[in-house]
């Protein structure tokens, strides 16, 4: 297996849905994911973190269930910060944050699978590239209440600054993104939109995903 090409990675980042049982009830999560994919989600990240999150066998079982939904629709399945689970499930990739260990070490463990790294400044972005990242997660571009440890808002313009600094790796923006402000992110030269609550809290996940997908057309 070869590393994913940058152009393919950019296409996959367009509507990137992140969720777990702390964002959507475990009993509803697979259905919400299926609806979101039907609406245009191009990549899914299983992020099982926070108070009340599943662990052990329960986390593995939920991961398998969501992975099956993704496989049925040919949407890549990414695991957040759990290399062991990603390898056990033969996931398509792993996403890590700055506090989740060495990206270079993760790359060594996962081989040619997709590797995403959250970055918040130019130095982190350049280090992630050196460590073998396939894409960068940049944010929060807008205020968000989803994560308790959220850093300062960087704004969509920060992505444009990264481009000016010579960062050409695919970039997905995250943090407070929804259909009404997504156009600002696209204008800021991001390759994709990463969302949690814009889909997980939507009355109609399919319609929410469709609205985000339309931003790229």
pTM (2 d.p.): 0.96
> Is the bond into 140 cis (omega within 30 degrees of 0)?
yes
45 annotated ligand binder: yes
Condensed to tens digits (0 to 9), the pLDDT of residues 188-217 reads: 999 999 999 999 999 999 999 999 999 998
81 annotated ligand binder: yes
144 annotated ligand binder: yes
* Closest by Cα among 63, 181, 169 to 116: 169
First to last CA, the chain: 32
Hey, which residues are catalytic here? 47, 118, 147
Domains in the chain, please, with CATH?
Answer: 6-214 (3.20.20.70)
Query: Which residues, 6+ apart, have CB-to-CB distance to 126 below 8 Å?
Result: 167
Pairing mode, strands 15-19 and 192-195: parallel
181 annotated ligand binder: no
Query: Which residues, 6+ apart, have CB-to-CB distance to 183 below 8 Å?
Result: 215
Condensed to tens digits (0 to 9), the pLDDT of residues 94-104 reads: 999 999 889 99
Q: Is residue 163 over pLDDT 60? A: yes
């Amino acid at each position: 297996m070869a590393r994913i090409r940058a152009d393919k990675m950019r296409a996959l980042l367009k509507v990137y849905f992140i969720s777990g049982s702390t964002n959507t009830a475990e009993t509803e999560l697979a259905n919400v994911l299926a609806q979101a994919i039907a609406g245009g989600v191009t990549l899914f990240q299983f992020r099982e973190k926070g108070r009340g999150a599943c662990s052990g066998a329960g986390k593995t079982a939920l991961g398998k269930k969501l992975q099956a939904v993704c496989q049925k629709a040919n949407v890549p399945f990414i695991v957040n910060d759990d290399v062991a689970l990603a390898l056990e499930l033969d996931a398509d990739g792993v996403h890590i944050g700055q506090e989740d260990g060495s990206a270079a070490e993760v790359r060594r463990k996962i081989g040619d699978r997709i590797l995403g790294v959250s970055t918040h400044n130019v130095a982190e972005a350049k280090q992630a590239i050196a460590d073998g990242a396939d894409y960068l997660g940049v944010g929060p571009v807008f205020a968000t209440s989803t994560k308790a440890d959220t850093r300062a808002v960087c704004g969509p313009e920060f992505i444009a600054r990264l481009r000016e600094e010579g960062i050409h790796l695919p970039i997905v923006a995250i943090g407070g993104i929804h259909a009404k402000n997504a156009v600002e992110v696209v204008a800021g030269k991001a390759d994709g939109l990463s969302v949690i609550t814009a889909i997980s809290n939507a009355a109609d996940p399919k319609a929410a995903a469709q609205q985000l997908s339309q931003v790229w057309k």
